[in-house]
Structure 1
Amino acid sequence: MIMDGSAADVATSCRRVLEEQPAAVNAHDADRHAAYYAEDAVLHDPEYPEPLRGREAIRRDMRKFLTAFPDVVGELHQMLTSGRTAAVEITMTGTNTGPIGVPGGTPLPATGRRLRLPYAAFIRFDDAGRIVEERRYFDVAGIFRQLGRA
């Protein structure tokens, strides 16, 4: 991914990953989405009491999300990069036609309602240009309100 480790290559690689990853979500390809993460990546998500650890956990999480929202579309609005760190603003929209996985609980049945989920994330990359840490920020209560669960 990162060619020679120069600052220009690092910035280019980070931007490329951030532009390509939403395309993987839009293609509903959890495997391609997860391939942008390092094998030992850590993902902090407000829906989970503990971070997701490892590419496989991130892949499983994306599969659950794509099951719950099979028509989901992600749109990257902004990205800022500095070295191996980036910040992004994204909006995900989709219809809840599948069960919603609940950490440690019974999945919630589909509501048939549309979701518009704006979120921001701070992301760190390794020398190979893979994501090693991601911290997502979004309104969990807002999700439940939109889906008629609050």
Structure 2
Amino acid sequence: MTQDHLAATGEELARRYVDTFNARDMDAWVALFAEDGVIYDPFFPEPSKGRGAIENVQKSVLRAFPDMQWRQLRPAIAVGDRVAVELGVSGVNAGPLEMPGGELPATAQAISFESGTFWRLAPDGLIIEERSYFDATGVAARLGMVP
């Protein structure tokens, strides 16, 4: 794969990632991941492993934040089998949030943050691993989970 093709592929993947999420097309969004893909998210203590787990976590997030929107803040950067993208995330906590210790009731609090999201791609171009970095403590504080 040439660098030009990889950059176009990374940018196209980032666009589809954001567009399918914002359209609430979970089938198309989850299809961007390899069957055995893994997501590491600082808000959840355990990684989501496999398409089924990834889909369940996203459905839970959307239940808690039904108006959540993502936006790509800058062009994706792709090198080798790695892609980095910066996202803006916003939404209002209008539903319960499922956490390992139980459900947290809706707070009606708005959240807004920026996230650095990094993907490792399988040879077929699907996401095999995602790692996101954002101020999870700040989001938790906004939701009243921490002082």
Output the TM-score relative to the length of structure 2. Answer: 0.90
CA deviations on 1:4-48 (whole Å, 9 max, x unpaired) are: x44443332222111111111111222221110000111111123
Q: 2:66 maps to which residue?
A: 70
Find the aligned partners of 1:11 and 1:89 in 2 and give their Cα distance: 15
Q: 2:81 maps to which residue?
A: 84
Find the aligned partners of 1:8 and 1:55 in 2 and give their Cα distance: 29
Q: 1:35 maps to which residue?
A: 31
Matched residue of 2:96: which SS?
A: coil
Q: Superposed, which structure 2 residues align to 1:84-123 within 5 Å?
A: 84-102=81-99, 104-123=100-119
Q: Report how far residue 117 of structure 1 moved.
A: 2.4
CA deviations on 1:100-119 (whole Å, 9 max, x unpaired) are: 110x2211010111110211
Find the aligned partners of 2:2 and 2:23 in 1 and give their Cα distance: 31
Matched residue of 1:111: which SS?
A: coil
* Larger CA deviation: 75-84 vs 128-137: 75-84
Q: Number of paired residues?
A: 145
Q: 2:136 maps to which residue?
A: 140
In 1, are the aligned partners of 2:114 and 2:134 still within 8 Å (CA)? yes
* Larger CA deviation: 10-19 vs 57-66: 10-19
| One-letter identity of the residue aligned with 1:139 | D
Structure 1: gaps of 5 or more residues: none
In 2, are the aligned partners of 1:14 and 1:84 still within 8 Å (CA)? no
User: 52, 57, 66: which is aligned to 2:53?
Assistant: 57
Find the aligned partners of 1:23 and 1:113 in 2 and give their Cα distance: 24
Structure 2: gaps of 5 or more residues: none
Find the aligned partners of 2:43 and 2:144 in 1 and give their Cα distance: 17
Output the TM-score relative to the length of structure 1. Answer: 0.89
Are 1:44 and 2:36 matched, yes or no? no
